[in-house]
């Protein structure tokens, strides 16, 4: 009987400790995602501004009218590439991100800073950004953990913020100039980042990743 009581006490203690550890893990994971969403939205503006400037200087969007099918670029680094290797289940053409960077730099006449989703392994949603162009319409999307007024819900803890020159009610994308000027977006990207140093380090680590190969 005494051993049985001791066993019960041990089990209760282990369950309590395990529950505490799980709670701390969930809290840390949630805090990471809230910070990461701020970074992802800043990256959306970063690429949106580059794409629009490229259009102003060249008269076209990157890879506009270069194929009869949709052209995709997955913005992914070496830690994310395995999750970003497949495109949609429709006829399409994939362009390596390194070529996309070179194309932007060629059109802009200067080097650019590469920005990647700060999450290395996917959870609930893709951990890379997507550029797509078809004929004269382009889209650029980032995937978020939490809801925003300008983001479309895709699934549990999965929201998509997308810019496009062909934005409408049906595709739920936003014109970049309208989104970036909106109070909701400004508030989102100006939110404080709890672990700013960590995210800055990760950005700097991959700032010119395609040129390191």
- Structural domain total, the chain: 1
Task: Give residue 108's domain range.
Answer: 31-211
Q: Is residue 19 part of a domain?
A: no
> Which residues, including other chains, have CB under 8 Å from residue 2's CB and lie 6 or more apart?
none
- Digit-by-digit pLDDT tens for the chain (213 residues) are 666 666 565 555 455 445 534 344 465 679 999 999 999 999 999 999 999 999 999 999 999 999 999 999 999 999 999 998 888 899 999 999 999 999 999 999 999 999 999 999 888 889 999 999 999 999 999 999 999 999 999 999 999 999 999 999 999 999 999 999 999 999 999 999 999 999 999 999 999 999 986
Residue 17 domain-assigned?
no
pLDDT at 127: 95
DSSP 140-170: EEEEESS--TT-EEEETTEEEEEEETT--TT
**pLDDT of 124:** 82
Residue 5 included in any domain: no
1, part of any domain? no
Whether 205 is in a domain gets the answer: yes
Q: What is the CA radius of gyration of the chain?
A: 21
pLDDT for the residue 153: 96
Is residue 180 assigned to a domain?
A: yes
Please tell me the predicted confidence (pLDDT) of residue 85: 85
């Amino acid at each position: 009987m005494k051993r049985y009581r001791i066993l019960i006490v041990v089990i209760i203690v282990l369950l309590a400790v395990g529950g505490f550890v799980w709670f701390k893990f969930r809290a840390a994971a949630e805090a990471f995602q809230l910070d990461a969403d701020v970074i992802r939205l800043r990256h959306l503006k970063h690429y949106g501004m580059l794409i629009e400037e490229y259009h102003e200087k060249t008269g076209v969007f990157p890879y506009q009218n270069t194929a009869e099918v949709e052209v995709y670029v997955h913005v992914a680094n070496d830690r994310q590439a395995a999750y970003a290797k497949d495109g949609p289940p429709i006829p399409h053409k994939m362009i390596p991100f390194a070529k996309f960077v070179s194309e932007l730099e060629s059109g802009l006449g200067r080097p650019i800073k590469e920005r990647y989703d700060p999450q290395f392994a996917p959870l609930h949603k893709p951990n890379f950004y997507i550029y797509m162009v078809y004929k004269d319409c382009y889209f650029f999307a980032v995937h978020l953990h939490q809801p925003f007024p300008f983001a479309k819900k895709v699934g549990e803890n999965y929201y998509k913020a997308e810019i496009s020159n062909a934005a409408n009610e049906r595709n739920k994308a936003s014109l970049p100039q309208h989104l970036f000027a909106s109070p909701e977006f400004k508030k989102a990207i100006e939110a404080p980042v709890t672990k700013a140093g960590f995210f800055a380090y990760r950005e700097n680590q991959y700032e010119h990743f395609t040129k390191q190969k």
